[in-house]
């Protein structure tokens, strides 16, 4: 029983965590945020007063909580993380959801989630330059959103996407991290990384040792910590342009 619990924790580890030799992050203290006329979102608040935001898009029919649970205290030291649920119920399990193709609708739902979390925390979160993280089907939508709204999403993290990323639509002011497990199919993400590099974009590939599709592996915390450090390290491009989205009214 103890071994099973440890295996589950390793498989779901998505974190801005400390290196592997350090103590693992404590369980994330996320909370559920109700959104009028929509599925709830899940928020891991920043503990440092930071107004930065990370948007997380889960995989097809995946658990929207599994990733955010493993973000840990190191994530809340940098930003507020918001896991937005996909909108279409899955056939085999209607309690789980998959992503549609209406990017405008997904973007409105992200905006509503940020506004709802801002109201629940009693402060205004910064929506001028977000980090968007997508896993599998969520990575495909994160790529599309990063291209449709490049000024809003200057930092894009694509993990185990079912389609190789392409450069068309990305701008040189964005930073793009590509990731895949060492036991997952490699060609899709590596080919996408090559195409982005050849187009002159700021991109870097990261492998997740010992991870299959849907996993982050035993070194996931260490690798993801490197990813998020790379996104904001000195020399990273500045935001493309100011982004000032209109406020989204929340029904009372």
* H, E, C per residue of 169-215: CCCCCCEEEEEEECCCCCHHHHHHHHHHHHCCCEEEEEEECCCCCCC
Residue 63, pLDDT score:
85
Q: How far is CA 167 from CA 148, 176, 182, 198, in A?
A: 12, 10, 24, 9
Is the per-residue pLDDT at 6 higher than 80? no
Report yes or no on 240 lying in a domain: no
Report yes or no on 34 lying in a domain: yes
pLDDT single digits (tens) 39-67? 999 999 988 889 999 999 999 999 898 77
Residue 222, pLDDT score:
79
| C-alpha span between 242 and 73 (Å, rounded) | 29
Report yes or no on 151 lying in a domain: yes
Two tokens, residue 218? 């035993």
Report yes or no on 242 lying in a domain: no
Comparing CA positions, the residue from 251, 250, 216 lying closest to residue 25 is 216
Read off the pTM. Answer: 0.82
Lowest pLDDT segment from 157-161, 164-168, 224-228, 241-245: 241-245
| C-alpha span between 141 and 154 (Å, rounded) | 15
> Which residue range(s) make up the domain with 40?
2-232
Overall average pLDDT of the 21-50 stretch: 79
Report yes or no on 245 lying in a domain: no
| C-alpha span between 68 and 191 (Å, rounded) | 28
Domain count along the chain? 1
Is the per-residue pLDDT at 116 higher than 60? yes
Residue of higher predicted confidence among 195 and 237: 195
pLDDT single digits (tens) 77-95? 779 999 999 999 999 999 9
Report yes or no on 250 lying in a domain: no
Report yes or no on 104 lying in a domain: yes
Overall average pLDDT of the 145-159 stretch: 96
Report yes or no on 241 lying in a domain: no
Query: pLDDT tier at 124 (50, 70, 90 boundaries)?
Result: very high
CATH number, domain of 86, equals 3.40.50.1820
Would you say 243 and 252 are in contact if contact means Cβ atoms under 8 Å apart?
no
């Amino acid at each position: 029983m103890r071994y099973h619990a440890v295996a589950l924790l390793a498989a779901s580890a998505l974190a801005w965590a400390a290196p592997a030799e350090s103590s693992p992050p404590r369980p994330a203290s996320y909370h559920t945020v109700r959104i009028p006329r929509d599925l709830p979102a899940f928020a891991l608040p920043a503990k440092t007063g930071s107004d930065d935001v990370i948007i997380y898009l889960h995989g097809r029919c995946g658990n929207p909580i599994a990733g955010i649970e493993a973000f840990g205290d190191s994530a809340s030291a940098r930003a507020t993380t918001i896991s937005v649920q996909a909108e279409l119920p899955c056939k085999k399990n209607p309690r789980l959801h998959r992503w549609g193709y209406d990017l405008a609708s997904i973007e409105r739902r992200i905006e509503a989630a940020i506004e709802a979390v801002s109201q629940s925390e009693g402060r205004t979160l910064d929506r001028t330059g977000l980090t968007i993280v997508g896993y599998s089907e969520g990575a495909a939508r994160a790529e599309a959103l990063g291209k449709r709204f490049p000024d809003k999403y200057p930092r894009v993290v694509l993990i185990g996407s079912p389609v190789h990323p392409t450069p068309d639509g990305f701008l040189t002011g964005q930073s793009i991290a590509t990731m895949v497990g060492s036991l997952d199919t490699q060609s899709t993400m590596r080919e996408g990384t090559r195409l982005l590099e050849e187009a002159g974009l700021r991109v870097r590939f990261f492998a997740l040792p010992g991870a299959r599709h849907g996993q982050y592996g035993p070194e996931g915390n260490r690798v993801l910590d490197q990813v998020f450090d790379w996104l904001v390290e000195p020399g990273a491009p500045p935001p493309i342009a100011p982004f000032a989205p209109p406020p989204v009214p929340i029904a009372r």
